[in-house]
Amino acid sequence: MPAVTSMRRRVQIATLIALPLALAPTVAQAGSKTDDGASLGDAQGGRKGQNITVRTKVRTTVNGAPSTAKTGSLSSTDSNWTPPACWYEPAFSPKEIEATVKAWRDMDGIVFLDGIGDFIGMALDHRYKDGHPYKNYNLDKQGEGMFWAAAVNPNRKDEPEAMSCDKSPFWVDEGEPPNEPLAVSPQVLAEYAYDELPVPDTEIEMAPTGKSTVNLPTWIWLDKTKFKKHSVTASLPGTGLSATTTAEPVSLHIEPGTADAQTYPASGECAINEDGSIGAPYAKGKADQTPPCGVSYLRSSGSDGPYPLRATVTWKISWTSTNGEGGDLPDGTFGTTQDVTVQEIQSVNR
């Protein structure tokens, strides 16, 4: 029982330490100043469970322009890999930590928080002022480093892995690599940019339009102007650190939506052409030809409704960075489904 009580006490203390750093931006907003004129910079935070988090400073641009809304997100072809759900990045200066404690002590005038501010301030001072492990908020090191804190990937904030970065803010000297495997790095930036890639719709062109006919090929193609390389750059302001992740389309996979069909090619995998297009547009006179990319349905869709034809583009992903690092990331896929109505061949009896 004493061991359980001790464990609960440690959890309570950890939560008390986490809470003020998480809520501090509501009392001392980023961009405001302390009494001695020190800027509070970009520190903005939140709390999930016992995690102390900051609103990430990482910025992304798409092909050199600010990031815009995208249709969807790529799915990794490697089932064992996903972009990071969280990481640690520079977040608080010594003066910001000091301002956080002061902000809590100033909250004692609020009725429902009466007395709590001093209590939490004492818990913070224990860690950041009284030598457990930091003394006087590291004010003597102002400008010589930062307290690093957990940042959560906004695309994955509801995933269990977002709770993996559960350390309280820790000090890192300027120019020194943090002793933390989840610290932000060029590869972390590249993997985050993977999540921000602007994936276009995979709405294929088909002929004939309207309805397909049993045993007659339906031609499928994608225009080269739509499926081209896309790049996203993720950068950490003030550090000169950035990584650019590039997605390049390599193939289109066709799933007819029924086993009663034949795909062209037989694998259903349509390779990209040299000009960047996929397949070939249908033209008059090609009705009896085999399309480079397409499908023939062997049975009409009937009363069960149209067949859900799924078209999935595979994207090859690579990255580079400002410090010379780079490489490949797992291929990504993104697909959409289109309804295809298939009719029987109509004949006339004389």
Question: What would the pLDDT profile of 191-222 be if each residue is shown by its tens digit?
Answer: 999 999 987 777 789 998 878 999 999 999 98
Residue-range domain boundaries for the chain: 2-184, 205-343
- The CA distance from 265 to 280, in Å, is 13
* pLDDT at residue 75 tops 50: yes
% of the chain beyond a pLDDT of 70:
78
Sequence length of the chain is 350
Is the distance from CB of 329 to CB of 315 less than 8 angstroms?
A: no
**Is 176 or 64 the better-scoring residue by pLDDT?**
176
* Average pLDDT value over all residues in the chain: 81
Question: Please, which residues have CB within 8 angstroms of residue 349's CB and are 6 or more apart in sequence?
Answer: none
Q: Give the torsion sign (CA, 255, 258, 263, 267).
A: positive
DSSP-derived pairing of the beta strands 211-213 and 326-343: parallel
Is the distance from CB of 300 to CB of 214 less than 8 angstroms?
A: yes
Select from 107, 98, 112, 183 the least CA-distant residue to 141.
Answer: 98
> What is the pLDDT, as a whole number, of residue 41?
35
Q: What is the reported pTM? A: 0.79
